């Protein structure tokens, strides 16, 4: 069964550094998402992406964050200048149709980002 | 206040017991999804409930969507150790024109042998 893959599985970075988290969504999916989960807390929506542009973003997704689909397969999340509070599991997800239309999201196994 | 409140937050039971976890909201949802998340992995969809009053069964798991489409429950019969995990409900409110799938805080279930 096709799956969403994320790399790296664990990223350690120093405060103020830039990080890029990478995702390969399911190949025929059109909608892509990033979520994060701070340890012990709920899964929080960051951003959705469709047709090469952001379709929706949450308050968490401020100017430090950006997303890109640089080629036909990768979907990346960049954090420009990491802060301690950015430490979390970051999950990429994709879906064939809109999440609002009852479409399930397929999640990757996440990248654990640790900011020191 | 969270859009989707899940209860209980933690549940520890013995293998063979039955349990019910709840997902409640003051908002109406066109559908609710249930996911299970195991440590070190992303959430995996279990089921989507769409119609008010709908009941869906997945082996020993029974999902119900409230008549008013504001709440849902998950009942597990004769729990097994393999049922251990974090159970999450998620949905997009009917009043929301967007596409932001919002998750509840989850119920962390531990089934002991």
Tell me: the pLDDT tens digits for B1-56?
678 999 999 999 999 999 999 999 999 998 899 999 998 899 999 999 999 999 99
Helices within chain B (DSSP H only): none
- Does A47 map to a domain? yes
- Does A104 map to a domain? no
- Does A107 map to a domain? no
Q: Are B103 and B4 in contact (CB under 8 A)?
A: yes
Q: How many domains does chain B have?
A: 1
A24, β-bridge pairs: A5
Chain B residues close to A105, C-beta within 8 Å: 33, 43, 45, 101
Domain CATH number, residue A94: 2.60.40.10
- Does A91 map to a domain? yes
Residue among A35, A42, A48 minimizing CB distance to B99: A48
Chain A residues close to B100, C-beta within 8 Å: 45, 48, 56, 58, 99
Residue B39 near chain A (CB below 8 Å): no
Strand, coil or helix: what is A99? helix
Expressed as residue numbers, the domain containing B31 is 5-112
**Paired tokens of A88:** 């979390």
| Mean pLDDT, all residues of chain B | 93
- For the beta carbon of residue A115, count every other beta carbon within 10 angstroms: 19
* Distance between CA atoms of residues A11 and A76, nearest Å: 14
Residue A4 confidence (pLDDT): 96
- What's the maximum distance between 2 C-alpha atoms anywhere in chain A? 40
* Distance between CA atoms of residues A107 and B98, nearest Å: 20
- For the beta carbon of residue B38, count every other beta carbon within 10 angstroms: 13
Domain CATH number, residue B64: 2.60.40.10
pLDDT (tens digit, 0 to 9) for every residue of chain A, 116 residues total? 779 999 999 999 999 999 999 999 998 898 999 999 999 889 999 999 998 999 999 999 999 999 999 887 899 999 999 999 999 999 999 998 776 667 889 999 999 999 99
- Does A60 map to a domain? yes
Note whether B48 contacts A104, CB cutoff 8 Å. yes
Note whether B99 contacts A56, CB cutoff 8 Å. yes
Residue B30 confidence (pLDDT): 86
Q: In whole angstroms, what separates CA B92 from the centre of its chain? A: 14
Please tell me the distance in Å from B101's CA to the nearest CA on chain A.
Answer: 6
Residue among B33, B99, B102 minimizing CB distance to A98: B99
Q: CA of B51: how far to CAs of B4, B65, B69, B85, in Å?
A: 18, 7, 8, 26
Residue B1 confidence (pLDDT): 62
Residue B85 near chain A (CB below 8 Å): no
Residue A26 confidence (pLDDT): 93
Exposed / middle / buried, residue A64 (Cβ in 10 Å: 0-12, 13-18, 19+): middle
Q: In whole angstroms, what separates CA B61 from the centre of its chain? A: 10
CB < 8 Å from B in window 26-85 of A: 31, 33, 35, 41-45, 48, 55-56, 58
* Distance between CA atoms of residues A88 and A79, nearest Å: 12
- Does A42 map to a domain? yes
Note whether B45 contacts A98, CB cutoff 8 Å. no
Expressed as residue numbers, the domain containing A76 is 5-98
């Amino acid at each position: 069964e096709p799956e969403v893959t994320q790399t790296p599985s664990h990223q350690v970075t120093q405060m103020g550094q830039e990080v890029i988290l990478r995702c390969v969504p399911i190949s025929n999916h059109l909608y892509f998402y990033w979520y994060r989960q701070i340890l012990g807390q709920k899964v929080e929506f960051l951003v959705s992406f469709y047709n090469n542009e952001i379709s929706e973003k949450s308050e968490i997704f401020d100017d430090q964050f950006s997303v890109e689909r640089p080629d036909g397969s990768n979907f990346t999340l960049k954090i420009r200048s990491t802060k301690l509070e950015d430490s979390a599991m970051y999950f990429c997800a994709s879906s064939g149709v809109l999440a609002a239309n009852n479409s399930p999201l397929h999640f990757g196994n996440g990248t654990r980002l640790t900011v020191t | 206040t969270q859009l989707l409140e899940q209860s209980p937050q933690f549940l520890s039971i013995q293998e063979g017991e039955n349990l019910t976890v709840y997902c409640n909201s003051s908002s109406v949802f066109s559908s609710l999804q249930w996911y299970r998340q195991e440590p070190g992995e992303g959430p995996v969809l279990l089921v989507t409930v769409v119609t008010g009053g709908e009941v869906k069964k997945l082996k020993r798991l029974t999902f119900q969507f409230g008549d008013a489409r504001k709440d849902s429950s998950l009942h597990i019969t004769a729990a097994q150790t393999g049922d251990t995990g974090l159970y999450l409900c998620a949905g997009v409110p009917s009043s929301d024109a967007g596409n932001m799938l919002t998750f509840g805080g989850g119920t962390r279930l531990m089934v002991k042998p």
